[in-house]
Structure 1
Amino acid sequence: MTATTAPLGEFETMKKSWPQDLLASVVVFLVALPLCLGVAIASGAPPALGLITGIIGGLVVGSLAGSPLQVSGPAAGLAVLCYQLVSEHGLIMMGVVGFIAGALQLLAGVARLGQWFRAISPSVIHGMLAGIGVLILGSQFHVMIDDSPRGSGLENLLSIPEAIYKAVFPMAMDSHHLAAMVGVATIAAILIWNQFKPKSLAMVPAPLIAVIVGTLVAGLAGFDINRVVVPDNIVASLNIPTMEALQRGLAMDIILLGVVFAFVASAETLLCATAVDQMHTGPRTKYDKELRAQGIGNMLCGSVGALPMTGVIVRSSANVQAGGKTRLSAIMHGVWILGTVVALPWLLALIPTSALAAILVYTGYKLVNIAQIKKIATYGRVELVIYFSTLLGIVVFDLLTGVIIGFVLATAKVVYTFTHVRVDLEDNEMANRTDVFLHGSATFFSIPRLASVLETVKSGRAVHVHVEHLDHIDHACLDMLGAWEKQHNATGGTMVMEWKDLRDRYASPYQKMQDEGSNGPDQPGDGPKKAPPVLEPAA
């Protein structure tokens, strides 16, 4: 029954909300078009391959998605990986790697592993996005002045002063300064529009305004600079893998690249879906279904050699903010991209590549989210170390190495957290009482530390063990405390486990009122109190 009613309900919603979805699809299209072109250029691929991915992301993935309001297409987060792939293995291998990644995503979705892709430390994810942002900024800064990116991310960053010098002090016959003027005008248009756009035009995206401004500046001034190359026939741009490329796809390094693409694309997609869920009150994401849809989409992109795709937060948030209600808006945005490619290729050919690169320079800057860094800092210095280690690992080495560094550090933090306990002891000679305060996680790893502190307690003391600040306590520690209690009782002392403090920490206000109306708290000297039913509360 459920299987039949859900689609019917969605179809009924589409019939009612199609005007809002139609308007939202136009807004998403205007956001997606320049980004499809720009991400393709940043990936070292022809712009048409980015447009094909946008079309598949709308028509196919939009129809199958588990997150109806999420919009998929070529993403800046994969541009760095794609550029490295094209540089090292050639453009023909992009389709092979994308197909492998899509197949892995489809299998993961069938195996219901969608939720597990979200089990990654936020510090690693945001560090990864920031690292990608820095790499995009470094590489596209050179494209913005009609120059070529350097061999590595670090070289791109270190050579930015050289690029600035070329733009300010051009040599004869160079056009670096002309492209730079278009790039600066493009970024200025984004900043000004974001700050001063009229309320009546609030839904018009800044990237579209920026592309228009950059194109007008270059066209009206007659600048002889690089422009987007779009074929008259989109079919002619297909990058279908050859038999030789498919055979190379069996090599271990290519398979490993497919795994990396699948991991990064899935993590970015599902994190984006989670963020989209927080923006609206409609249907929640079905993560396994979304993963299967992404897998099918990437297999199709791989089959024609287009760029791989992910769910994209910029397009998705534009969809929600524009009033999108159902998956119809994502599907229709793919229709608009297809119509533009078929009917207006001459219009796309007017766009300077420096304008698209400037948009990506700004996008890379925004990925290094200062507000997010401040938020991570509130969770402690260790989280900041994980964040910046991931970022630097990506910039200095590569994306996979940076993510591994971050993942190892995050795992080490978890291991430390669950193996570390702080024991504070307060001794009151006048009251003949000793209070023992436990902080952190009391596990069997903590027994030596706990035992060494308890050995310093004087005989005959009334010992109160406070556990309200514990994140976790296991049975090994409870058994050790029980054994120590017996030894301490033999010396004339007592031990009280302050379970009430722990119960008060997690109890509802109503439960606390009930407790206050009962026989009162445990009193000193009454002997050890039994624990409440839940011995291992979660922090």
Structure 2
Amino acid sequence: MSVLRRDLLASFVVFLVAIPLSLGIAVASGAPVAAGLVAAIVGGVVAGLAGGSPLQVSGPAAGLTVIVAQLVQTYGWRATCTITLLGGLLQLALGASRVARTALAVSPAVVHGMLAGVGAVLVLAQVHVLLGGSPQQSALANLRELPRQVLHPHTHPALIGGLTVLALAGWSRLPRGRGRLGAALRLVPAPLPAVALATLAAWSLGWHARRVDLPGTLLAGWSAPVLPHGSPAAIVGAVVSVGLVAAVESLLCSVAVDRRRPPGVPPADLDRELLGQGAANAVSGLLGGLPVAGVIVRSTANLEAGACTRASAVLHGVWVLVLALSCGPVIEQVPLSALAALLVVLGVRLMDTARVRDLRHHREAPAYFATLAGVIVLGLGEGVLLGIGIMVVLALRRLTRLSVRAERLVPAPGDAPISPRWHVVVEGTLTFLGVPKVTRLLRDVPSGADVDLDLNVDFMDHAAFDAVHQWRLAHERQGGRVDIDEVHETWYERAVTGEMSPPGKTPPPARWWAPWANRRRRAEAELDAPEVSPSALLLAGVREYHGRTAPLVRPIMAELAMAQKPKHLFITCVDSRVVPNIITASGPGDLFINRNVGNLVPRHGSRTHDDSVAATVEYAVNVLGIKTISVCGHSNCGAMAALLGGGTEVEHLRGLSRWLKHGNHSLARFLAADAPAPADPDAADSPLTRLCKTNVMQQLDNLRTYPWLRERVDAGEIELVGLFLELESATVHVLDPAAETFVPVPDEAPDGGGKDAKSLT
């Protein structure tokens, strides 16, 4: 299917969604019905052509209904058009200032709370219309009047509204079947058949209900917008409300659409999108239309219908114009109660409870509910400001969150009694606000006790430092000893030494790379504690990971949870002293690692058949798209020592003996090589070290025995790198293939970025 054909189909689908929603939003806003159609046309054509989000569809939005209804009641319709025009000019100014992304600083909790509040206000107002009555001037008045309206409904409007709701709920559950008819029915959005069915039933059964009042022509009775009468502050506030709320809603919609854009569609330009929205609002206000914003319902329909370019949004506006000019009598048959039912369902969907579950995980639900309640009780602008205020309070609370705990280290039963020793942990942000909490706990530590104080803080101000330091001096004067260990950054140490320059970024967890034995507390050493079982050490390490490292890597792991995109295949030995992520300073998701005894790669077609390494290489290259394969050997390798000794020491280990046969080519290459010349960097190496290095070179050659891999290496698509870890000095050397020697890795990358490894391979 061509791009134009896909856009044409998508534009018609979006058009079917836009017509009933535009009419219903206009009625709910207290504006002329034609204003909704004008906004749909302008939003499609102007915002579609000038906007920066190709697949976003703009038009009258339900999120602006409450604002527009209040403006119409306060200033009148023509003055509301002026406010819309000025709001568009404000958006143009913001877009020209390139500040579009700052609008995204508004918390999603506030945005979703605002939409939920708008949904609740819509439901409370439109239920009255659905039942044949009239909405009141406020949400609370609608709520108070609702019981009377429910007890005394108008029969025909209520039946029409109920039929519309049933049709909306049942359309998606109807069997579609297969073939072209089923595909066509799946493309028809539920609002169109629901409103059409209600209109047909009302007309055929002669039900009496108020209907859409459309002027003879789209711009009949048009007159220029007038200036609103009122205090300048209130008018400016109205303009800012329309401009900013429409801007934020459009930008958030644009971001949501951009995340789902198909391949080949350019990413959204938010500043251009804001300019497009400003132009659309200025034109809509001038022509007597509602405020325009990006609409997630229409944009989602556009994506699902297969739109490829901005032509679909523009064409949808053209279809609305054609319908408004040619099908006015048909539109005038639509009952208002059917449109009210459509808005009631839309309002219920805006109150998405799934958002609350997500926000609870981040402890932002209070801002959501505060915004929702504020919109209902106080109004849209006041509710949003209330939600932002709650978010500020929550942010301040998080920034000053502090956890303090202490425990006394007690010797195990049967151990000799020792002097009292305490372990105190302070975690979070240590400012003057947390000083009372910290000092209260520190004062409970007995005089003369030895104290291990862990400061796992991301910031410490002078008041907090002074409190901790003075307590330490006082405690040590009374015979105790304080050992301070800073886990995150050395705030305390720098304050003591007077070096208060901004701290550099340090590895997130402290001493995570050290062996378990090196990290046992000095208290345990002084207690001469009994040997801890390996399983207990393992679980202790897991607990340390959960307490220190997991909170820091959790955001990274959440991003990697559904897919991995490693950069390198790293083949190395199973030796416990070789830790790939340490020697490459890499993290989760960077390395695809294969570890085996002796970092061996069985040759293609080897008589001692083994596919374990080949399977890893195939998956890394053909599935993960890895472009670099590294083989890393190390000094004092036990596998190479076994080869050098003829394998006699491991004869009783049958599986290991069979596996080491894959190293025979390395041994033969080593035996065939001449002794290194005195000038050779490897001349001082022991025979074992030379074999370990030879083995790395041989395994790179073994990789080339796989024809499909050799073709890619020769074509420059795959890069092979040899590395050697010298355990004694903890340094890594890289292979220079031309000289067949290992050379130090340069301290700084040469010009051209990270090409130094490639130049050696």
Range class of TM-score, shorter chain: 0.7 to 0.9
Q: Which range is displaced more, 344-353 or 70-79?
A: 344-353
2:435 aligned residue (447, 463, 468) = 447
Q: 2:424: which partner in 1?
A: 436
- Stretches of structure 1 that go unaligned for 5 or more consecutive residues are 1-14, 168-175, 527-536
Q: Which amino acid aligns with 1:351?
A: V
Structure-2 separation of matches of 1:480 and 1:519: 33
1:24 correspondence with 2:10: yes
Note the C-alpha offset of 1:155.
Answer: 1.2
Distance 1:473 1:97, change over 3 A: same
Structure-2 separation of matches of 1:500 and 1:250: 54
Q: 2:750: which partner in 1?
A: none
2:422 touches 2:450 (CA, 8 Å); kept in 1? yes
Structure-2 separation of matches of 1:221 and 1:261: 42
Q: 1:531: which partner in 2?
A: none
Q: 1:61: which partner in 2?
A: 47
Structure-1 separation of matches of 2:517 and 2:314: 64
| Residue deviations 1:259-310 (CA, integer Å, cap 9, x gap) | 1112211221122122222323443322222112111111111212210011
Output aligned runs, 1:270-289, within 5 Å: 270-281=251-262, 282-289=265-272
1:146 touches 1:179 (CA, 8 Å); kept in 2? yes
| Residue deviations 1:486-514 (CA, integer Å, cap 9, x gap) | 66556451324252899999579xx96xx
Structure-1 separation of matches of 2:518 and 2:488: 10
Structure-2 separation of matches of 1:505 and 1:178: 70
2:88 aligned residue (83, 102, 105) = 102
* Paired residue total: 499
Q: 2:372: which partner in 1?
A: 391
1:94 touches 1:306 (CA, 8 Å); kept in 2? no
Structure-2 separation of matches of 1:296 and 1:519: 68
1:352 correspondence with 2:335: yes
1:409 aligned residue (360, 371, 390) = 390
Q: Which amino acid aligns with 2:159?
A: M
Q: 2:562: which partner in 1?
A: none
SS at match of 1:441: strand
Q: Which amino acid aligns with 2:266?
A: P
SS at match of 1:226: coil
Identity %: 36
SS at match of 2:219: helix
Q: Which amino acid aligns with 1:301?
A: S
SS at match of 1:235: coil
1:257 correspondence with 2:242: no
Structure-2 separation of matches of 1:292 and 1:464: 59
1:496 touches 1:524 (CA, 8 Å); kept in 2? no
Output aligned runs, 1:303-314, within 5 Å: 303-314=286-297
Note the C-alpha offset of 1:523.
Answer: 4.9
1:76 aligned residue (50, 58, 62) = 62
Structure whose residues are more often helix by fraction: 1
SS at match of 2:483: strand
Note the C-alpha offset of 1:106.
Answer: 1.5
Q: 1:362: which partner in 2?
A: 345
1:326 correspondence with 2:309: yes
SS at match of 1:323: coil
- Stretches of structure 2 that go unaligned for 5 or more consecutive residues are 177-181, 412-417, 491-504, 526-551, 556-761
Larger Rg over CA atoms: 2
Note the C-alpha offset of 1:481.
Answer: 4.8
1:194 correspondence with 2:177: no
Q: 1:204: which partner in 2?
A: 188
SS at match of 1:423: strand
Distance 1:463 1:65, change over 3 A: farther
| Residue deviations 1:467-490 (CA, integer Å, cap 9, x gap) | 55x5x3245456765665566556
SS at match of 1:365: helix
Q: 1:153: which partner in 2?
A: 139
SS at match of 2:172: helix
Note the C-alpha offset of 1:391.
Answer: 1.5
Larger RCO of the pair (alpha carbons < 8 Å, separation 6+) = 1
Structure-1 separation of matches of 2:231 and 2:52: 31
Q: Which range is displaced more, 436-445 or 330-339?
A: 436-445
Q: 2:400: which partner in 1?
A: 419
Q: Which amino acid aligns with 1:494?
A: V
Distance 1:258 1:249, change over 3 A: farther
Note the C-alpha offset of 1:441.
Answer: 2.6
Distance 1:466 1:507, change over 3 A: closer
Distance 1:103 1:483, change over 3 A: farther
Q: 2:651: which partner in 1?
A: none
Note the C-alpha offset of 1:60.
Answer: 0.6
SS at match of 2:271: helix
Structure-2 separation of matches of 1:440 and 1:28: 50
Aligned-CA RMSD value: 3.1
